[in-house]
Structure 1
Amino acid sequence: MSSTGVSVLCGIACELGEGPAYDPAADTLFWFDILGRKMIELPLATGEALQHDLPVMASALAMVDHARQLLVTETGLQLRDRNTGDLTMLQEVETDRPNMRSNDARVHPCGALWLGTMGKAAEEGAGAIYWFYKGELRCLYPRITIPNSICFSPDGAIAFFADTRENRLYRVACDPELGLPVDDPILTIEGNEMAGGIDGSVVDAEGTLWNARWGGGRIDAWSSSGEFIRSIDMPASQVTCPVFIGHDASRMAVTSAHAGLSGQAREADSDAGRTFVLERSFNGRFDPPVVL
């Protein structure tokens, strides 16, 4: 395990930092403090972070075009005007269940969005994973407690997802043109064999899956078939999700959280909630815009 080349990218300490998304056209990183109802915007050229207050909990973001972003929120998918910050509901999701919120999400190479929901108190089996593409919403996997690790192989033929509560990661064959599953999920990583829970993941251009281990304080690299490759030690115990950043996608940003830590534990974990950068030569790639 190594921590070489890991540093704090942004000192804002999020209660529940999640959903990092990088816009290569603007060279800007976005992420969320879900419980704080904030979106954070960090232009890498300046390093000066902006915090945007939100009227709802939001957990993830997808690029649309130069003028709009798609936010995954507790009430559904909302379009955000990048100039004004105004939100417009595009697709309601579980609005009849006020105890629910959104969690992990990522865009498939074809432009379809997979997104997860969960109970605000992490109620057992209350959540689900959905597929959204060209205005159509489908529930793919119900009875998920904490949906995480939604990510895809570079060719779009494999999707990955996890339920952090059961600490297992699955892969499933997909139609590369639609981003829909074409087979049953296969258990790929049994997370209880290592300390920490399976949280957010991203797949690089070579097909390696990089996973943030909540409570484990590290980023783990796995092959697409579930073979462990290596770990990178992180400065905070509750890391949540990685994303590739920089013009060549060679660096990695990682969000974290201080939610649930006692005063003593937070004092010992002084960087909890901050966002980090791994200055390594990753063979990363960028998520495409979502197709509305």
Structure 2
Amino acid sequence: MTVCTNLPFEIAESPLWDDRRSLLWFVDINNHAIHSYDPKSGVLNRYQMPALVGSIGLSEDGRLVAALKTGIHLFDPATGELEFIVNPEVDRPGNQLNDGKVGPDGCFWVGSMDENSMNISGALYRVTASGEVTLVKDGIFISNGLAWSPDGKIMYHSDGLSSTVKAFDFDVATGTISNERDFFTFDHEEFGWPDGATMDVHGNYWSAGIFRGKINQVSPEGKLLRTLQMPVLATTMPCLGGDDVPTLFVTSLASDVDDVRQEGTLLSCEIDVAGVPSYRFSVADLTLS
């Protein structure tokens, strides 16, 4: 594994490959920052946000969709402009938005959690560019693990209270889920708790096993194919990207395990499988102010 930058991060999360710009985007949640990383030049750029930023997605118009403590926004890296869309949790001030991704339906799917990780007050939402919010699931501890199969017909999701990743049938036309079922249960003592996830072109689900330093690859049939040991323990999310050579990127958070301090970081290595290109937030019907 290669350490991409020597800068320490508090909670590096939501790595996202941008195939148009050939950049990796990710967030540092508690430091209120979005970062871009150019693997070819090694250049790291920081974009300061006004609040906690839990996750990001790509937009069709070149902007990013960002889940801040204050709600869902569109962010333009070229100008620094931040445009508010909607706050799906205006009635839950003790929560913060967490893991989020753009789905095959062109909407931003984002979950939440209690900001102190004490209460089961989280939920999962589907958000459109016009600000329409659908509550998809409620009663979640820490919403995590979002990913979709390459054909967009299966959605995966996990809850920090459980070591089981769930699978759902996904209707791309309506953006609805059905047929909830257990997909894979991790032995968290060995493989870590399932955190953020990504998908490869063969339909394998890649999950970060937090506090065990693992990246776990699970087949569409729910069989563990391999486990990669990272040089850090608090892995938060994998991302499969790269231009010429498929690359695995991994984010992590700062942790103290066995009295050893590890800062959050961004890691990368060449890998033998490509990822599914990121979906983009549909803004076609959005009237910009």
TM-score normalized by structure 2?
0.91
Counterparts of 2:244 and 2:139, CA distance in 1: 38
Structure-2 residue corresponding to 1:48: 43
Structure 1 residue 227 displacement after superposition = 1.0
Structure-2 residue corresponding to 1:154: 150
Matched, 1:111 2:106: yes
Matched, 1:279 2:270: yes
8 Å CA contact 1:109, 1:154 repeated in 2: no
CA RMSD of aligned residues (A): 1.8
Matched, 1:177 2:168: no
Q: For residues 202 and 249 of structure 1, do their structure 2 counterparts lie closer, same or farther at Cα, with a shift above 3 Å needed?
A: farther
What is the letter of the counterpart of residue 135 of structure 2? Answer: C
Counterparts of 1:174 and 1:86, CA distance in 2: 33
Q: Which stretch of the first structure deviates more once superposed, 42-51 or 198-207?
A: 42-51
Structure-1 residue corresponding to 2:53: 58
8 Å CA contact 1:131, 1:180 repeated in 2: no
What is the letter of the counterpart of residue 39 of structure 1? Answer: I
Matched, 1:226 2:217: no
Task: Figure out how many residues of one structure are paired with residues of the other and give that number.
Answer: 281
Select the residue among 189, 199, 214 that pairs with 2:210. 214
Counterparts of 1:200 and 1:74, CA distance in 2: 19
Question: Superposed, which structure 2 residues align to 1:230-241 within 5 Å?
Answer: 230-241=226-237
Structure 1 residue 262 displacement after superposition = 6.4
Counterparts of 1:24 and 1:275, CA distance in 2: 18
Matched, 1:34 2:29: yes
Structure-2 residue corresponding to 1:164: 160
Q: Secondary structure at the match of 1:139?
A: strand
Matched, 1:95 2:86: no
Structure 1 residue 115 displacement after superposition = 0.7
Structure 1 residue 13 displacement after superposition = 1.7
Structure-1 residue corresponding to 2:280: 289
Q: Which stretch of the first structure deviates more once superposed, 279-288 or 24-33?
A: 279-288
TM-score normalized by structure 1?
0.91
Structure 1 residue 56 displacement after superposition = 0.6
Structure 1 residue 189 displacement after superposition = 1.5
Q: For residues 219 and 262 of structure 1, do their structure 2 counterparts lie closer, same or farther at Cα, with a shift above 3 Å needed?
A: closer
Identity %: 25
Structure-2 residue corresponding to 1:138: 134
8 Å CA contact 1:164, 1:198 repeated in 2: yes
Structure 1 residue 278 displacement after superposition = 2.0
Counterparts of 1:41 and 1:179, CA distance in 2: 29
Matched, 1:254 2:250: yes
Q: For residues 128 and 249 of structure 1, do their structure 2 counterparts lie closer, same or farther at Cα, with a shift above 3 Å needed?
A: farther
Residues 40-83 of structure 1 deviation map (CA, whole Å, 9 limit, x = unaligned): 11122321111222111112111114542111111211011221
Structure 1 residue 8 displacement after superposition = 1.0
Counterparts of 1:70 and 1:257, CA distance in 2: 22
Counterparts of 1:65 and 1:174, CA distance in 2: 21
What is the letter of the counterpart of residue 132 of structure 1? Answer: V
Q: Which stretch of the first structure deviates more once superposed, 233-242 or 102-111?
A: 102-111
What is the letter of the counterpart of residue 165 of structure 2? Answer: L
Q: For residues 168 and 235 of structure 1, do their structure 2 counterparts lie closer, same or farther at Cα, with a shift above 3 Å needed?
A: same
Structure-2 residue corresponding to 1:244: 240
